[in-house]
Chains A and B, each alone.
Chain A
Amino acid sequence: MKRMPMWGNRAAKYIVISGLLISGYVHLDIVPFHFSHMPAHGIFFGVLGVFQLFAIFLFWLRPHRFVVMWLIFSITGGMVLLWGVTQMDFTPFTRSAEPIDSPTIITKLAEIIAFIASIFHFGRLVPKHILKGLALSVVTGIGTLALGYMAEYFAGGPPKDPHGFPLANGHGGTVHSHGIYDNYYTDDYSWNDVFKSLKGYLTPQPKSSYVWNLPTGFPEPRVPAENPMTEEKVKLGRYLFYDKRLSGNGTVSCSSCHFQSKAFTDGKVLPEGSTGMVHPRNSLSLTNSAYSSTLTWANPSLENLEKQILIPMFGEFPVELGIVGKEEEVRNRFRNDTLYKRLFAQAFPEKDRYHFTNFAKALASFTRTIISGSSRYDRYVYKKDSTALNDKELRGMQLFFSEKLECHHCHGGFNFTLSTVHKNTVFIERPFHNTGLFDLDGRGAYPDNNTGIMEITGNPNDMGKFRAPTLRNIELTAPYMHDGSMSSLDEVIDFYKRGGRSITKGEFKGDGKESPLKSGFVSGFELSDSEKEELIAFLKTLTDEEFIQNKELSNPF
């Protein structure tokens, strides 16, 4: 055998060893994190790490062996290739939201450098084998992939849960997740869990072109199958949301009643539509409406934003955007606009794309991104930052979650309303409550223009039942209640403390406290003035400054 100059070979050898050392240890380092959300993923990295470290000894002892060369190639170049393929959009391995984080960058760099050095090393050592070596590395890569495909084939196709939610397309966003095969805060895995998650790891993942950017602890919203999220629709929706040309007479846009600075409410008791007609209901905050199991203040059948958005667009009683009768005119404003030509073409590839259903789809997609979860409360609860709330606020939090006040029976869960649905919800809850705001006739009557879901269901027992809205950003969304009849949180808490509102004069005279239709959860409670202050201080920790300043939700014009 021809002996090559020592310096070159030795350098190559050390580079290979260092590369393997780095990637091996990094892979071992990330094992616990991956094991905790999906055992098979952790085991994969563990085995890989051990292999990469073990290979160093083989390489050290037998640097001339062909089989060692094959091993080194496959755990350096082969791994980069495997990783590359899992990142590519056209392969069945692609996951949405696989982050390229620092361990990824470090290991891939170390592996690729070690791979190049190993070609150099083995090539110098056995020049006639250099082509064979390259060929082998390709074969190794193909072999690794083939193994993956075979595993998928024998595992019987992509596993799905019985409700058709795609596997491994988990909680979305930049959160690394394997969906239903994630492990949930426990360490009692059985081998069955490991097999199942291994199967999930090796099988094709559904692709989603949309990456949710969700706050920590937030589940992925449920999106109707007929309107999957895309960046393009969100972008178009954002322009439409802020565009006054969407109203019949061109005077108002969605944003006229939903200001970002007020958590997408308008600060008025009752809003006015494009023609000046007053809406009987207070502008609802759009905060986290992606998670609302029903939309608007009181409609049990209105379950998605696509349907809901048609109401402000086409509603006549009251007129909001007021498009009715001006459909063609409104559509043409967008059809003939250079900016919207581009935005619509990107969002809706079909030829005939200026349907109002597409307007609604784009607006719904944008509205689903109006997500708030970066308040101080979230820092305290989800980021485990115990300094985020002060003692007074913590005492308020204790009161909020106490059985004495019972706030959480209606305003519970991550979104501070039980009227919440997300991707993994099986049983959708659509609660509505009569909180005793009115009792006009001793039988619980509410004012005629605002009877709650009775208006929809026709059931007299549904009189005065409204949906409990989220309390997130509640500090910014005054005035309160469906009719905007309470101006401050102070007033709202006094009302719940009393267990109903007494109106002593005027057309709405009556004591809601005594209403036979009032929810059993609004029974009143004792609360001192200082406790009230603590409760309000807690509610204010739900204000999300990042959210109201989020550029992606702001006016694009």
Chain B
Amino acid sequence: MFIGCSEENEVILNFEGEINGKPLSCDQWYSGFDINGATAIQLKDFRFFISDLRLINSKGQEVPVALEQDSTWQFKNIALLDLENGTGECSEKGNMAMNTAVRGKIKNDRYTGIVFKMGIPFEWNHVDNAAVPSPLNVGAMFWNWQSGYKFARFDLVTDKPDREKFWFIHLGSTGCVSEIMGAGPESPCSKTNIPEIRIENFDVSSDIITVDLGTLLKDIQVGTCMSGTDNQFCSDLFPRFGLSLETGDCMDGCANQQLFRKKTHEAYANVGK
């Protein structure tokens, strides 16, 4: 409160879901796939946590964005992005509310890029989720104390035969050891599985981030992957998050992740038409 308002700028980081060039929706089939026997998919759930959002200034320093504490979508430095609207297939676990942006404030400066993590920092990942405020009390995003939260929850229905048609992609920490089950681990999990996404040449006031399930899944073997290290599909999928399934850390700074990208300008040309 002792800092003048003029020295702080509002930051709104917008996300836009996409599959193969089409906007995300729970009521639609997305064709054009040829993965693991499926040619089309439909969304069942699409939610993920973003944390530790920073902007990169002209000196290359990462300056943290102080998130607005709205007791709804954002808590501390964590925000829940919710791109499902609870209709269609999403009605089993989802809800109507959606959230496509992260809101906060940052010191006035010129910023040329962004960095953020997809996940929940260790100190908040293993709490009693009945005792923390929203969005950390959303039950569908929580495993249990020991394993913590699902950082990302992409539930899909495919056009495969009924018994194999559901694919659940749940990203979260693994190798979390607690003295007693039902309590959080004392030391960080052996595999954190939190990708850090860095996008240079990004102007947060006008650019948008595309979250593309199409590029994430393109040409790999996919199926249910709940971050298990012995899961065959995870071993294909994790590099697409930029992660090593073996270590749980970013490979090459998560630079090769295929989920997030700056929305291209060709796409902008169509906005508002």
Tell me how far the C-beta of A411 lies from the nearest C-beta in chain B, rounded to whole angstroms.
11
Interface of A is mostly: loop
Q: A397-B182, A420-B139, A520-B168 are in contact. Are A426 and B132 (CB under 8 A)?
A: no
Give residues of chain B (138-160) contacting chain A, Cβ–Cβ below 8 Å.
Answer: 138-140, 142-147, 155, 157
- Number of B residues whose C-beta is below 8 Å from A? 43
Taking a contact as CB atoms under 8 Å apart, the answer to whether B226 and A163 are in contact is no
When chains A and B are docked, how far (Å) is the Cα of A381 from the Cα of B178? 12
- With most chain B CB atoms within 10 A of its CB, the pick from A401, A403, A414 is A403
Interface flags, B174-186, vs A, CB<8A=1, else 0? 0000011111000
Any A CB within 8 A of the CB of B71? yes
When chains A and B are docked, how far (Å) is the Cα of A188 from the Cα of B72? 21
Q: A426-B135, A519-B92 are in contact. Are A185 and B127 (CB under 8 A)?
A: yes
On chain B, the residues within 8 Å of A514 by CB distance are 162-163
When chains A and B are docked, how far (Å) is the Cα of A432 from the Cα of B89? 12
Q: A413-B129, A514-B163 are in contact. Are A426 and B181 (CB under 8 A)?
A: no
Taking a contact as CB atoms under 8 Å apart, the answer to whether A171 and B140 are in contact is no
Any B CB within 8 A of the CB of A422? yes
On chain B, the residues within 8 Å of A403 by CB distance are 226, 228
On chain B, the residues within 8 Å of A401 by CB distance are 143-144, 146-147, 181
Taking a contact as CB atoms under 8 Å apart, the answer to whether A413 and B71 are in contact is no
Interface flags, A138-175, vs B, CB<8A=1, else 0? 00000000000000000000000111000000010000
Give residues of chain B (85-140) contacting chain A, Cβ–Cβ below 8 Å.
Answer: 92-93, 95, 97, 123-124, 127-135, 137-140
On chain B, the residues within 8 Å of A521 by CB distance are 166, 168
On chain B, the residues within 8 Å of A428 by CB distance are 95
Taking a contact as CB atoms under 8 Å apart, the answer to whether B44 and A397 are in contact is no
Taking a contact as CB atoms under 8 Å apart, the answer to whether B183 and A381 are in contact is yes
Tell me how far the C-beta of A273 lies from the nearest C-beta in chain B, rounded to whole angstroms.
32
Interface flags, B27-39, vs A, CB<8A=1, else 0? 0000000000000
Any B CB within 8 A of the CB of A516? yes
Taking a contact as CB atoms under 8 Å apart, the answer to whether B95 and A427 are in contact is yes
On chain B, the residues within 8 Å of A90 by CB distance are none
Q: A429-B138, A520-B165 are in contact. Are A171 and B180 (CB under 8 A)?
A: no
- With most chain A CB atoms within 10 A of its CB, the pick from B134, B135, B182 is B182
Taking a contact as CB atoms under 8 Å apart, the answer to whether B131 and A171 are in contact is yes
When chains A and B are docked, how far (Å) is the Cα of A432 from the Cα of B143? 18
Any A CB within 8 A of the CB of B8? no
Taking a contact as CB atoms under 8 Å apart, the answer to whether A414 and B130 are in contact is yes
On chain A, the residues within 8 Å of B146 by CB distance are 401
Interface of B is mostly: loop
On chain A, the residues within 8 Å of B143 by CB distance are 401, 408, 412
Q: A420-B139, A431-B93 are in contact. Are A412 and B130 (CB under 8 A)?
A: no
Taking a contact as CB atoms under 8 Å apart, the answer to whether A184 and B71 are in contact is no
Q: Which residue of B lies closest to A184 (CB)?
A: B132
- With most chain B CB atoms within 10 A of its CB, the pick from A427, A465, A515 is A427
Interface residue from B131, B135, B182 paired with A380 (Cβ < 8 Å): B182
On chain B, the residues within 8 Å of A295 by CB distance are none
Taking a contact as CB atoms under 8 Å apart, the answer to whether A432 and B92 are in contact is yes
On chain B, the residues within 8 Å of A217 by CB distance are 128, 130-131
On chain A, the residues within 8 Å of B157 by CB distance are 520
Tell me how far the C-beta of B41 lies from the nearest C-beta in chain A, rounded to whole angstroms.
13
Any B CB within 8 A of the CB of A398? yes
On chain B, the residues within 8 Å of A171 by CB distance are 131
Any B CB within 8 A of the CB of A230? no
Q: A219-B130, A401-B181 are in contact. Are A163 and B71 (CB under 8 A)?
A: yes
When chains A and B are docked, how far (Å) is the Cα of A519 from the Cα of B89? 11
Interface flags, A366-405, vs B, CB<8A=1, else 0? 0000000000010011001010000000100110010100
Give residues of chain A (404-434) contacting chain B, Cβ–Cβ below 8 Å.
Answer: 408, 412-414, 418, 420, 422, 424-433
On chain B, the residues within 8 Å of A218 by CB distance are 130
Q: Which residue of B lies closest to A415 (CB)?
A: B130
On chain A, the residues within 8 Å of B183 by CB distance are 381, 384
Interface residue from B70, B131, B140, B165 paired with A418 (Cβ < 8 Å): B140
Taking a contact as CB atoms under 8 Å apart, the answer to whether A433 and B92 are in contact is yes
Taking a contact as CB atoms under 8 Å apart, the answer to whether B142 and A518 are in contact is no
On chain B, the residues within 8 Å of A425 by CB distance are 134, 137
On chain B, the residues within 8 Å of A161 by CB distance are 71
When chains A and B are docked, how far (Å) is the Cα of A380 from the Cα of B183? 9
Q: Which residue of A lies closest to B143 (CB)?
A: A408
Taking a contact as CB atoms under 8 Å apart, the answer to whether A180 and B133 are in contact is yes
Q: A180-B71, A408-B144, A516-B162 are in contact. Are A427 and B93 (CB under 8 A)?
A: no
Tell me how far the C-beta of B96 lies from the nearest C-beta in chain A, rounded to whole angstroms.
9
- With most chain B CB atoms within 10 A of its CB, the pick from A162, A185, A513 is A185
Interface flags, A235-252, vs B, CB<8A=1, else 0? 000000000000000000
Q: Which residue of A lies closest to B167 (CB)?
A: A520
Tell me how far the C-beta of B149 lies from the nearest C-beta in chain A, rounded to whole angstroms.
12
Interface residue from A427, A513, A523 paired with B166 (Cβ < 8 Å): A523
Taking a contact as CB atoms under 8 Å apart, the answer to whether B92 and A431 are in contact is yes
When chains A and B are docked, how far (Å) is the Cα of A518 from the Cα of B163? 9
Tell me how far the C-beta of A288 lies from the nearest C-beta in chain B, rounded to whole angstroms.
12
Q: A184-B127, A219-B131, A519-B92 are in contact. Are A426 and B71 (CB under 8 A)?
A: yes
On chain B, the residues within 8 Å of A386 by CB distance are 179-180
Q: A401-B144, A412-B139, A523-B166 are in contact. Are A422 and B134 (CB under 8 A)?
A: no
On chain B, the residues within 8 Å of A397 by CB distance are 181-182
Q: A185-B127, A380-B182 are in contact. Are A162 and B162 (CB under 8 A)?
A: no
Taking a contact as CB atoms under 8 Å apart, the answer to whether A427 and B135 are in contact is yes
**23 interchain pairs (CB within 8 A)?**
A161-B71, A171-B131, A184-B127, A184-B132, A185-B131, A217-B131, A380-B180, A381-B182, A397-B181, A401-B143, A412-B143, A413-B130, A414-B128, A418-B93, A418-B140, A426-B135, A426-B137, A427-B138, A428-B95, A431-B140, A465-B92, A514-B162, A520-B166
Given A381-B145, A398-B181, A429-B140, 16 extra CB contacts under 8 A: A162-B70, A185-B128, A217-B131, A219-B130, A219-B131, A401-B181, A413-B129, A414-B130, A418-B140, A422-B137, A425-B134, A426-B135, A429-B138, A520-B155, A520-B157, A521-B168
The 4 A-B pairs at the shortest CB distance, nearest first, are namely: A520-B166, A381-B182, A426-B134, A418-B139
